[in-house]
Amino acid sequence: EGVMPDLATAHRNTPFCPILELAGRIQSRDKPVVDFSIGVPNFTPPQRVYDAAIAAIHADQCRYGPSRGEAGLIAAYLHYLAQLGQDHFGPVNIAVGQGGKHLLYSLFQVLFEPGDTVVIPAPCWPTYFDIARLSGVAVRTPYCGLHQGYKLDPATLEAALRGRVVALVLNNPSNPTGALYSQAELAALADVLRRHDVWIISDDVYQRFVYTDEPCPHLLDVAPDLASRIIKVDSISKLYGMPGWRAGLLAAPPEVAEAVTVLNSNSISNMPPMVAAAAAAALGGDQGFSQQMTHGYQARRDILLTAFDSAPQIRCARPGGAFYLFPDISRVFGSMHGKQMISTDEDLCNLLLEDYGVAAVPGRHFGAPDNIRLSYAIDADQVKTGARQILRCLAELE
Ligand code: PLP
C-alpha cells in the first residue's frame, strides 16, 4: 500500500519562518508598499567584495573547501574581532556557517539534549523559538516590557534560571526592539550568570549598528571570566548588506567550535569558496561604510520617533541600535476603522497593508502581541512616507 510514513514530530509542528513568509507575500503584491517588514539593509557591499568573489570563481575555486573555513576568512574574522577589542581568539575558536541562523541552528544541535531548557528573553527574534522546536528544546521566555526598555534585568534573569537551565540567548542590540544593553547592564547580568552554570549564546549580528560613539558593549568585555561559556555569533548578512550570500562565523571555546565544525563536515561540508572569499573581503578591508550606514539608520530612527511623538496611541522605547522600532500599539485595540474593529496586532498590520500601503510585522511573532515591528533599513523618503501613512491610519481610527 502507498501510505506515506509520518514526518518526524518536530518537523510536522514547525511553521515556515514567519518573517520570510510575510516578506514573500509582500514582495509578490503588485501594489507598491512602504516595506517595513523584513530586516534587509538597503545598501550593497563595497566593490572589493564582488571583486573577491569573481576572482575566486575565475581561479576555479569550485572544489570542496575546508569544513572549518578558509584560512583567509578566519584571518579576516580574527582581525574583525581584534578591532572590537577581542584579540584573545585564535583559529581554534572559530567555526563558519551559512549565516547566523544556520550557526544558531547548529549550536542548538551540538549543545543541547532534547528536553533541555533554554532561556530566551522576549521580545525576541522568532527563529529562536522554531530552532528550539526543531531541536526538541524547551524555551523559557521571561517577558521584558516597555517600562524596562525591553531589556532583561538581573532579578528577572535570576528567576528565569531557576531549576535546570542549560543556556541563555542574548541579542544585543536586539531584533525586534533595537534595545542596547550598556556595559553596566551587562555587568549586572554577568553577576547572575556567574552563579549559574549555563552556556551564553550572544547573538551579535547587529553589533556594528549602535547609535553611540563607543563600540557595542559585550559580555566578553565586561565578564572575560565567563569566556569559557560564551559563544559569539556573527554574520555577514546585516553588517555588509549581504544577506543572500549566507555567511556567518562564530567565536567560541575550542570544543564548541570543533563540534560545529564536525557537524559542518557531516552536513554542509564547507562554505562555498567564492562566498568565503567575499566574506573575507568584507570583513578584512576598510569598515568606514558601516559607520556611514549606522548614521543613516540613526536618522531614520529619529524620523520615526519624531513622527510618533504626536501619536498618543503609540508608545516607543528609543532604540539604541540595530534598525528596528517596536512600537507598542495596544492602545488602538478596540477602536473602529469604519465597520472593522481593530483588536490585535495582526488586525492593525492587515489594515496598514491593505488600506495604507505600509507593511509591518505583528509583534506576536516576537512574543509581544501588543507591538508591531518596523524595520527602517529602507530609503529615508520611504520612512517618511510610511510614518505619514501610519499616522493617517491612527487618526482615522475611532
Ligand atoms: N539573529 C537575529 C537577531 C536576526 O535578526 C537575524 C536575521 O534576521 C539573524 C540572527 C540571522 O541572520 P543571517 O542568517 O542572515 O545571518
Find the CATH number of the domain harbouring 179: 3.40.640.10
User: Is 310 found in the same domain as 248?
Assistant: no
Residue 43 amino acid letter: F
Cα–Cα separations (whole angstroms), residue 113 to 95, 134, 194, 341: 21, 12, 22, 45
| Domain-located, residue 3 | no
Domain boundary residue, one of 284, 303, 332 = 284
User: Is 368 found in the same domain as 258?
Assistant: no
pLDDT tens per residue, range 227-255? 999 999 999 999 999 999 999 999 999 99
Q: Which pLDDT belongs to residue 248?
A: 98
User: Is 173 found in the same domain as 151?
Assistant: yes
Q: Which pLDDT belongs to residue 314?
A: 96
Which residues are CB-contacts of 10 (< 8 A; sequence separation ≥ 6)?
Answer: 133, 134, 135, 136
| Domain-located, residue 33 | yes
* 266 neighbors 249 (Cβ within 8 angstroms): no
| Domain-located, residue 207 | yes
Evaluate if residue 38 carries a pLDDT over 90. Answer: no
User: Is 153 found in the same domain as 73?
Assistant: yes
Distance 312 CA to ligand 1 centre (A): 32
To test the pocket of ligand 1, the residue of 37, 40, 127, 177 to mutate (highest count of ligand atoms within 8 Å of its CB) is: 127
Cα–Cα separations (whole angstroms), residue 209 to 237, 252, 377: 13, 22, 11
| Domain-located, residue 68 | yes
User: Is 122 found in the same domain as 169?
Assistant: yes
User: Is 348 found in the same domain as 332?
Assistant: yes
103 grid coordinates: 550557526
Range(s) of the domain holding residue 372: 9-44+289-395
Distance 102 CA to ligand 1 centre (A): 9
User: Is 232 found in the same domain as 85?
Assistant: yes
| Of 14-23, 220-229, 329-338, the least confident | 14-23
| Domain-located, residue 333 | yes
298 grid coordinates: 540613526
User: Residue 57 and residue 120: Cα distance in Å, rounded?
Assistant: 40
To test the pocket of ligand 1, the residue of 181, 238, 271, 283 to mutate (highest count of ligand atoms within 8 Å of its CB) is: 238
Count how many domains the chain has: 2
324-325 and 138-140 beta bridge pairing = unpaired
* Helix, strand, coil abundance in the chain, percent, nearest 5: 45, 15, 40
Residues within 6 Å of ligand 1 by CB: 39, 99-101, 125, 171, 175, 203, 205, 235, 237, 243, 248
| Domain-located, residue 4 | no
User: Is 338 found in the same domain as 362?
Assistant: yes
Alpha-helix runs per DSSP H in the chain: 9-13, 18-27, 47-58, 71-83, 100-111, 127-135, 154-160, 183-194, 219-222, 236-239, 254-265, 273-284, 288-309, 345-356, 380-395
Cα–Cα separations (whole angstroms), residue 16 to 11, 20, 123: 10, 8, 19
| Domain-located, residue 160 | yes
| Domain-located, residue 376 | yes
User: Residue 168 and residue 176: Cα distance in Å, rounded?
Assistant: 18
To test the pocket of ligand 1, the residue of 205, 233, 236, 373 to mutate (highest count of ligand atoms within 8 Å of its CB) is: 205
Residue 296 amino acid letter: G
Evaluate if residue 89 carries a pLDDT over 90. Answer: yes
Evaluate if residue 1 carries a pLDDT over 80. Answer: no
User: Is 197 found in the same domain as 256?
Assistant: yes
Residue with cell 544558531: 104
| 238: nearest Cα among 129, 149, 318, 125 | 125
Residue 394 amino acid letter: L
* Rounded average pLDDT over 334-341: 96
Measured from the Cα of 103, ligand 1's closest atom is 14
Instruction: Provide φ and ψ at 364, rounded to 5°.
Output: -55, -30
Distance 125 CA to ligand 1 centre (A): 8
ipTM of the complex: 0.99
User: Residue 360 and residue 394: Cα distance in Å, rounded?
Assistant: 14
